A and B are shown apart, each in its own frame.
Chain A
């Protein structure tokens, strides 16, 4: 057979014929472990711990930025002046 489609379908069909290993009973200790984990609650992941720790730092940096880079603190540069002039200039006048 040189048809890989057919080969894949036959392999998949044979795989489906395989019975799943029996799983009637709970493995010993599984329920106890799950219950213990449920009791202790979900531990935060590394990412969550980092994100929570970084939150106050990010808030401080944001506040500092607002204070230091306020619009009043900086004189308008050339680009701002040119943009302002262009906005103010009427390019087409209506008769």
Chain B
């Protein structure tokens, strides 16, 4: 599956071999994308969607808490992907990163559209989320002992309190474990801006956690 692409350089008798990310893509997907850009036929479009769906859905499900909106978001991502595929073909950027960037930016657009940034109180959390909070507080509790689904739900609630851009930065930093450079690339801003915004956003989250901790202690 992995093949070497042979490039004839402009200098005579000079040949270089590069292993590109694109060459690691399943050949059918690459061929299907090129074929769709040429012919725009529906059968090929379906195959492209089937191939890309696990990645798109994975990102949406990791970053968007409301299950009932997943399909809607996936639809929007695929629309943007198909609209931009001719440009991708011309650019030749790594497909996986390119699709991830589109999916994350669709999430960011939706986060921006959220009219309110709730301030969660201890009593607003479900019992499971409260337990995950308490388990995460205990140093002796192994991570595996924390109810991960509830931890994710709590994390989403905390991230809900941030602006769309701050949320995207912390989601990529903490949930996807991306580097500052990668986040800067996805968001189209400088590494320094990402660093500063991440620092400020983390401070907001830490303040929210401290407030919840205080309310938990004073709750009956």
Contact = CB atoms under 8 A, between A and B. Distances in A.
Interface of A: 1-2, 4-8, 10-18, 20-21, 23-27, 30-31, 33-35, 37-38, 42
Contact of B61 (A6, A7, A20): A20
A20 B206 CA distance: 26
Query: Which bucket holds chain B's interface residue count?
Result: 35 or more
B175 A16 contact: yes
B186 interface: no
Interface of B: 42, 45-46, 49-50, 53-54, 57-58, 61-62, 71, 74-75, 78-79, 82-83, 132-133, 136-139, 143-144, 146, 148-149, 151-152, 154-155, 158, 174-175, 177, 202, 205-206, 209-210, 213
Nearest to A37: B79
Contacts of A42: 79, 83
Contacts of A15: 148, 151-152, 155, 174-175
Nearest to B140: A1
A31 B143 contact: no
A23 B61 contact: yes
B125 to A, nearest CB: 12
Nearest to A23: B57
A13 B173 CA distance: 11
